[in-house]
Structure 1
Amino acid sequence: MATAINVQSSCSEAEWKARQRLAACYRIFAYLGWDEMIFNHITLKVPGEDDAFLINPYGLHFSEVTASTLVKIDIDGNTLDGSTYPVNKAGFTQHSLFHRELPDVHAIIHTHTTATMAVSSVEGGLQPINFYAAAIVPRLAYHKFEGITVHDDEGPRFLASLGKKRMMLLENHGPVVMGRTLEQAFLNHWVLQRACEIQMQTLAMGKPVMIGQEVIDKHMANLSQASIDPVQQGVPEFDAMVRLVDREDTSWRE
């Protein structure tokens, strides 16, 4: 197993803050049970460096990730911080594509939670049958399953499937959730996860009550009017989860 290096002294204050926020996010996902052994990825662009982003080291569980063990790589996969940890190619291939091609995307989350994978594996995907789904369905894209995401030639098809949306279900696979900030991406993933969990339970009970398009449109308009500064979207929710994580372990800060 590779050993962690102390990068705080060699990186900018902005990068160290980003490292800590991203490490906290990994711990939050572990706390919520959204981890998948040593697999899956949450990436974040390094502030002020458009061609560099942070990713989890391959081999560490989400609950083990710290600010220092995160790996800084460029969009070609080159390690920039001297880390001796490897990076999972399946994570790099997909995340580097979106970081390179979508300048508004600063954070990307890909998970294999049971609920989101289940919904991505049924015909029709996410249905407008609950409060959370009504806010997600109009913003959700879909991409046909082509196997493990390690092939660069799938990139154009990823982008075509995504279009102008910033959330996508990879059919038979799982979600890709993007955001202008890490906190925004976290909140969108949380809402998607809840929508999928509730759909699973609802369909197990019987025929669902569908929400009509007129109500969905009204719901989206109300959410838009009630939304806070986009820069602050997800921040209160994220910070609340950080406080919960800190009660158990603060080592992610190191």
Structure 2
Amino acid sequence: MLSSPNSTITGNMPDGSPHTPPSPRSTVTEQALRRELAAAYRLVAHFGMTDLVYTHLSARLPGVRHAYLVNPYGFLFEEITASSLVTVDADGHPRQPTAHPINPAGFVIHSAIHRARPDAACVMHTHTIAGMAVAAQDRKILPINQISMEFHDRIGFHAYEGLAAEDNLSERERLVRDLGQNHGLILQNHGLLTVGRTVAECFYRMYYLEQACRIQVAAQSTGTSLHFPSPASILRARQQFEDDTDQGQLIWQALLRKLDREQPDYQT
């Protein structure tokens, strides 16, 4: 997972122009953001992290107050394209003409986090078997593998309160409180959530949080006692990950090249 921060690899668009990795401090165009988010939907589908037409990945539109991109309700993630994404306001209601339904209730969690965390330009939420299995436990991500150690004390925990509802403003406050400044949340009895300054960073965190959950469930299924490294080793490993400035960009560029070869229509 670690890579050299000085390495740069770019993929190509269908017209031959290179993908440009977005900087967390730069402003991307709406069209570029649409392509990035559509790519994330396709990759979540590719890696088996979907729940049919449910859950959402969202991104804040640059330079527009309370405007976000989200998937049209009822579409499989493998169907999402840059142009099919819908611009919504902070309550999940469309800000553009659209023939497709939007599920405002499904955007409740996203809107709360986008509003409270200016750095959360992208929010991803999944219902996976491994993620929900860990969310059914009272313990957080166990530091039993170096992938898991990256998330040590960096993932919040939110107690289950029922289906997210538009009128439950108090739960939004608790969601924000439980997320704090962490990289993501385990939504107890529900699923996983990650945030990122870019789509690439958010996807990187979701992919490896999912891997940490799969490792945890697999290790627990052996029925043997689990080995925990020393606290000092866990903190050292986490710091090594955090010192890496790449934060998934090399992986993201490789994945975009894969999509360009296999599913180039995501950009349309």
Task: Give yes or no for TM over 0.5.
Answer: yes
Deviation of the 1:63 alpha carbon:
0.2
Moved more, 80-89 or 61-70: 80-89
Deviation of the 1:104 alpha carbon:
1.2
Deviation of the 1:100 alpha carbon:
1.3
Q: Summarize deviations over 1:130-165 as a string: whole Å, max 9, x none.
A: 111111122011000011111333111111212221
One-letter amino acid of the counterpart of residue 65, structure 1: I
Separation (CA, whole Å) in 1 of partners of 2:257 and 2:196: 22
Retained in 1: the 8 A contact 2:93–2:104? no
Retained in 2: the 8 A contact 1:36–1:111? yes
Aligned 1:218-233 pairs, distance under 5 A: 218-225=236-243, 227-228=244-245, 232-233=246-247
Secondary structure of 2:138's match? coil
Aligned 1:88-167 pairs, distance under 5 A: 88-150=103-165, 151-167=168-184
Q: 1:61 aligns with which of 76, 80, 101?
A: 76
Separation (CA, whole Å) in 2 of partners of 1:140 and 1:76: 25
Q: 1:52 aligns with which of 61, 64, 67?
A: 67
Separation (CA, whole Å) in 2 of partners of 1:60 and 1:88: 12
> Is structure 2 residue 265 aligned with structure 1 residue 251?
yes
> Is structure 2 residue 31 aligned with structure 1 residue 16?
yes
Q: Aligned residues: percent identity?
A: 33
**Which residue of the partner structure matches residue 10 of structure 1?**
none
Q: Of Structure 1 and Structure 2, which has the larger fraction of its residues in helix?
A: 1
Secondary structure of 1:98's match? helix
**Which residue of the partner structure matches residue 170 of structure 1?**
187
> Is structure 2 residue 252 aligned with structure 1 residue 238?
yes
Specify every segment of 5 or more residues in structure 2 that has no aligned partner in the other structure, as ranges: 1-27
One-letter amino acid of the counterpart of residue 240, structure 2: N
Specify every segment of 5 or more residues in structure 1 that has no aligned partner in the other structure, as ranges: 1-12
Retained in 2: the 8 A contact 1:28–1:242? no
Separation (CA, whole Å) in 2 of partners of 1:155 and 1:111: 18
Deviation of the 1:60 alpha carbon:
0.4
Q: 2:226 aligns with which of 199, 203, 208?
A: 208
Deviation of the 1:201 alpha carbon:
1.1
Deviation of the 1:82 alpha carbon:
1.1
Separation (CA, whole Å) in 2 of partners of 1:146 and 1:224: 32
Q: Summarize deviations over 1:19-47 as a string: whole Å, max 9, x none.
A: 01100110011111111100110000111
Retained in 1: the 8 A contact 2:183–2:205? no
* TM-score after normalising by structure 2: 0.85
Separation (CA, whole Å) in 1 of partners of 2:139 and 2:122: 27
Retained in 1: the 8 A contact 2:123–2:193? yes
Retained in 2: the 8 A contact 1:52–1:75? yes
* TM-score after normalising by structure 1: 0.89
Secondary structure of 1:68's match? coil
Secondary structure of 1:110's match? strand
Separation (CA, whole Å) in 2 of partners of 1:190 and 1:78: 28
- RMSD over aligned CA atoms reads 1.4
Q: Summarize deviations over 1:166-225 as a string: whole Å, max 9, x none.
A: 311000111110011111111111111111111111111121111221111111222233
Retained in 2: the 8 A contact 1:134–1:211? no
